[in-house]
Structure formats: structure tokens, C-alpha cells
Structure 1
Amino acid sequence: MPSLTLYTNPQSRGRIAHWMMEELDEPFETIWLDYGTTMKAPDYLAINPMGKVPALRHGDKVVTEAAAICAYLGDRFPEKGLIPPPGSPARADYFRWMFFAAGPLEQAVVARALGWTVPEGRSVMVGFGSYADTMNTLELGLSRGPYVCGEQFTAADVYVGSSLVWGLMFGTIEKRPVFEAYAARMQARPAWQRSARINEARTKPA
């Protein structure tokens, strides 16, 4: 089987992909990159011309964007149970919430963090509509079960869970009981804790 290589930085969205790798429980190599230097070096730009992380190399294929990496690995390793089976009702929830988090939720959170305000009457032009609508929709989705697909933990929870944990930590997602309970379930997972320990160790001064 082709080898897996994750390109990341401990203070980046690469943590999402790293958590996914820990949930996958397959051997992989981690290449740690630094902002402004190795992340912009020619060798890495040949892998991801954006000069951003994460990126995943699987054999001769490269996948970028954290949501795409999570979705790809769930699909590539179905025996791991991180994606609902084809044809199952939960499959629709999986795709819906994975890309809700990658689209409207990401936009709403970044807009709030940077102080961007949608002009009056222009909400139809932005994918998230409004911050309030995005939060209410997410709360409704997470109130239906312990995970976004009901009883089954999936790669979608890695992505949604990462968004919630970091959003609550930095105040870009408002605290609601449903959000805090879901984030706590994600942080209790052994794979999340392993990934957190590894990344935190990389942030400490030598």
C-alpha cells in the first residue's frame, strides 16, 4: 500500500489532519514545516503551490485542504469505519455536515474573528448568510445525536469537532451547551488526545 505522508505545522489547520491520522491508525510520516521558510520552499511548493498546510501525500497523489484530507482518508480506508456505508441514510449527514463546516461555518467564524460585517441586505451574497443563522443551524445538527451521523463517529466529526474546539477556545464560536458538550466528547477521544500531545510538544521551545 502506498505510504502516507502528512505535511503540517503544530499551530495550523494541520492539527485537523493530524487528528484524522491518529483516528485512522495507519502508519504515516509527519513532516513539520515552518511558516515563511520551509512552507514556502520550492520542494514544498511543488506539493502545494499555496504554500499552506496541511497536505497529504499518498503514494503519488496529493490531497490538500483539511476537509478534503478527512473525506479522502475516510473513503480510501472504509474498513476503519470513519465514513458511513454507501447508500446508508447517515451518508447524507456525513457529507452535509463535513462541507457545512468547511463552507458556511468556516466563513462565519473567520468573518467574526476578523471583524468583517456583511453589509445590510447583502447576506444573500455570502455562503453563511449570517453568523446567527450558521450557529443556530449547527446547534440543531449537533442536537440530534452524540455525533453528526447519530451514533457513529466519522471523519466528519474530526472536521466539525476541530472547528468547535478551536472556535470555543478562541471565542469565535459562542458558547452554547450543545457546542460545549460535543466539543468535550471530541476532546475525550484517545486519538484527539494523542494528536494534541504531539502538537503541543512541537510548540515548546527547544
Structure 2
Amino acid sequence: MPTLYHAPISRSSVIVTLIDELGADDIEIKEVTIPRQDGSGGTDPRNPHPEGKVPLLVDGSDTIRERGAIMLYLTDRYPEARMGPLNGEPGRGAYLSWLFYYQGVMEPVIILHWAQLSHPAVTASLRDFQTMIARLEETLSHQPYLLGQEYSAADLLCSGPFLWFPDLLPQIPALQDWVARCGARPSVARTAARDSAAKGA
């Protein structure tokens, strides 16, 4: 049985939402604590992540960390849910590109933008916030989702920061509509309710 190590209201929440979208009822979700930015929480000895972080997926002898990698692993493992193109299918290249773009570009750029940190070496390597926004707008100005007409795990991952921090979302209708569509998924509401209940327990 696969096991996801998850801390409520954290980066691993998106994986809980994906599990819901996949209908992957065989995945066990184990809640653990993590150190929080406000100083609360702490490293949990029950969490096998080498850095004490989440998410971490354990499936038999396989251990997968980093959200993009976990999403790719799960959408391949549960292909009937059609949350990501399989190897050899149309759109596979775009799907991989968006998952890795999020991990390698979007999240670092968003954090640097939020922290108001800038340096030419960073911009040259990672891109800047406006370039990242332009890439999203270019894609979403002529289609509802990153891969075309159908919602995928790439949308779930890449829309996440704008749902968490709506002030980051620029006044661009194509992006605002995309984030609204992604945020309106019932799975997102169910994860929020689950996390809120767990935090209040």
C-alpha cells in the first residue's frame, strides 16, 4: 500500500488533492508534524523524509519526494483517472515540462518575488516573476488549462501558489479565470476541509 506523509495546510496538501482526484483510495495518508515558519511544529520522528519535510510518498521499495515527482509517479500509477498524459501519448512533453517548470522555475521565482530579493545571476538562471507570468498568460490566453481543454495535475500544481497567496495573482483575466477554475474543483474544497479539521484537532 502506498503511503503519503502529509502535514495539514502545507506543500503536501496538493498531493492530498491529487489523491482525491485520482480516486486512489488505496493510498494511506499519514499526518506528521513539520517545522513551521511561525516557529510552531517540529521535526517528526515518524516522518522518513531525509530532511523532515513533506510530501513524501513511499510505495514498497520506492521513496519519492518533491511534489512534481510525486505527481508524475501517481498519475502514471493511476492512469484511469486521466490526470496526466502517459508516456507516448500526445501532450506528454508539455505535461513533463510544466511539472518541472513549476519545481525548477515557478516556486523559486515566486519565493524570491515574495521576499523582494533580486540579483542578475538569479534572473539570468531562473527567470523573473514577470517572465514567468508571461509564460502562463501565453499558454492560457487561448486554452482553459495548461495542456489544452482538460484539467491535469499540472494545473493543480501550478495554480496552487495563487490559491494560497491570491495577492500574487496579477490582473490578467486569462490567469484569474484559470486559477478560479482550478480552485473550484470539489477536491480542493475537500482537502481544505480535511486539513482544517486536522489542524483543529
The alignment's TM-score, normalised by the length of structure 1, stands at 0.85
Q: What is the root-mean-square deviation of aligned Cα atoms in Å? A: 2.1
1:54·1:65 contact (CA, 8 Å) conserved in 2?
yes
Residue identity matched to 2:131: D
Residue of structure 1 aligned with 2:187, choices 184, 191, 195: 191
2: CA distance, partners of 1:157 / 1:122: 25
1:33·1:39 contact (CA, 8 Å) conserved in 2?
no
User: What SS does structure 2 have at the residue aligned with 1:147?
Assistant: coil
Matched residue, 1:60: 61
Matched residue, 1:177: 173
Alpha-carbon displacement from aligned partner over 1:35-73 (angstroms, at most 9, x marks no partner): 2498624442xx211110111122232211111111110
Matched residue, 2:103: 102
Matched residue, 2:162: 164
Alpha-carbon displacement from aligned partner over 1:56-111 (angstroms, at most 9, x marks no partner): 12223221111111111011121221121433331122112122122211111000
Structure 1 residue 22: deviation in Å?
0.7
Equivalent residue runs for 1:122-137 within 5 Å: 123-124=123-124, 126-127=125-126, 129-137=127-135
Unaligned runs of 5+ in 2: none
The alignment's TM-score, normalised by the length of structure 2, stands at 0.87
Matched residue, 1:70: 71
2: CA distance, partners of 1:122 / 1:23: 35
Matched residue, 1:15: 13
Structure 1 residue 118: deviation in Å?
1.8
Residue identity matched to 1:135: I
In structure 2, relative to structure 1, the CA distance for the partners of 1:163 and 1:112 (3 Å cut) is same
1: CA distance, partners of 2:3 / 2:70: 12
Equivalent residue runs for 1:81-160 within 5 Å: 81-119=82-120, 123-124=123-124, 126-127=125-126, 129-160=127-158
Structure 1 residue 19: deviation in Å?
0.8
2: CA distance, partners of 1:49 / 1:86: 30
Structure 1 residue 137: deviation in Å?
0.9
